[in-house]
Amino acid sequence: MAEASGRQDCAMAAILGLDENILKGFCEDAQSVGVVQIANYNCPGQLIVSGDAAAVEQVVESAKGEIGSKRCRRLPVSGAFHSSLMEPARIQLRSVIGDFNFGTPETELVANLTGNFVSAPEEIRELLINQVVAAVQWEKSIRVIGDAGVSHFVEIGPGNLLCGMVRRILGDAICESVENVGTLEKTIKSLNTNLVP
């Protein structure tokens, strides 16, 4: 992905409060400037665009002037992730994992490319490869998981951005963030309190 990002001036931007269809129209209008597409469907009112820097900038400027748009800002990232500009990375990933022997998952898996449950090993491989150039269906994924009866989520890593999005998608979800020993202990205590009868 770093190699693919270094081949062109690329960017990503968060667009808050704008209707998805209006944003798609702005992306289509900016195609004359360069590649730009919706890269993340994060949660209600939060979409991310990704592509050539000039095209992303045009979309941001168009979105700023649109009624309903709350905020637009470029993200501090080094590439146009989840866009067609990552095609070289997708090709390399296929060459690396194309021959891996994937087993059937023992735990249910939701693919971020489709936002649906997946269990067939070959389908998992293809989804892993193709998600590099396709939009992340985070909101749909969380809704599908919630519809399956999951009410507790744990975010592992720095920050709590994903917990915030989970709560916006599933208002009654319990989401814990683990980023160090202290938050791990707090999460274990919370889960024991909430899950053990």
- Per-residue model confidence as pLDDT tens digits over 73-94: 999 998 999 999 999 999 999 9
Rounded Cα gap, residues 193 and 197, in angstroms: 8
The answer to whether 133 touches 92, Cβ cutoff 8 Å, is no
Is 123 within the bounds of a domain? no
* pLDDT for residue 116: 97
Domain boundary (82, 116, 141) is at 82
Helical spans, DSSP H, in 6-137: 20-29, 53-64, 87-97, 121-130
- Judging by beta carbons within 10 Å of its beta carbon (0-12, 13-18, 19+), is residue 197 exposed, middle or buried? exposed
Kindly state the percentage of the chain with pLDDT values over 70. Answer: 97
Phi (first) and psi of residue 53, to 5 degrees: -55, -45
Rounded Cα gap, residues 111 and 114, in angstroms: 6
Domain count, the chain: 2
The answer to whether 55 touches 31, Cβ cutoff 8 Å, is yes
Domain boundary (82, 110, 141) is at 82
* pLDDT for residue 69: 76
Sequence-separated (6 or more) residues with CB below 8 Å from residue 14: 46, 47, 48, 71, 72, 73, 75
* pLDDT for residue 1: 80
Per residue in 89-133, pLDDT (tens digit) is 999 999 999 889 999 999 989 999 999 999 999 999 999 999 999
Is 113 within the bounds of a domain? no
Give the CA distances from residue 195 to residues 151, 170, 189, 190, 191, in Å, rounded to whole numbers and listed in that order: 10, 18, 10, 8, 6
Residue 29 structural domain: 2-82
Rounded Cα gap, residues 191 and 153, in angstroms: 10
Q: What is the value of pTM for the model shown?
A: 0.90
Domain boundary (82, 117, 139) is at 82
Is 12 within the bounds of a domain? yes
Is 137 within the bounds of a domain? no
Is residue 3 very low, low, confident or very high in pLDDT (cuts 50, 70, 90)? confident
| Residue 103, SS3 per DSSP | coil
Rounded Cα gap, residues 69 and 29, in angstroms: 17
Mean predicted confidence (pLDDT) in 5-12: 84
* pLDDT for residue 65: 83
Is residue 191 very low, low, confident or very high in pLDDT (cuts 50, 70, 90)? confident
Examine the pLDDT at 57 and tell me if it is beyond 90: yes
CATH code for the domain in which residue 28 is found: 3.30.70.250
Examine the pLDDT at 134 and tell me if it is beyond 70: yes
* pLDDT for residue 195: 66
Is 119 within the bounds of a domain? no
* pLDDT for residue 197: 56
Is 49 within the bounds of a domain? yes
Rounded Cα gap, residues 42 and 32, in angstroms: 26
* pLDDT for residue 115: 96
Is 192 within the bounds of a domain? yes
The type of residue at 36 is V
Examine the pLDDT at 44 and tell me if it is beyond 80: yes
Is residue 60 very low, low, confident or very high in pLDDT (cuts 50, 70, 90)? very high
* pLDDT for residue 5: 75
Mean predicted confidence (pLDDT) in 14-32: 95
Rounded Cα gap, residues 69 and 45, in angstroms: 9
Is 134 within the bounds of a domain? no
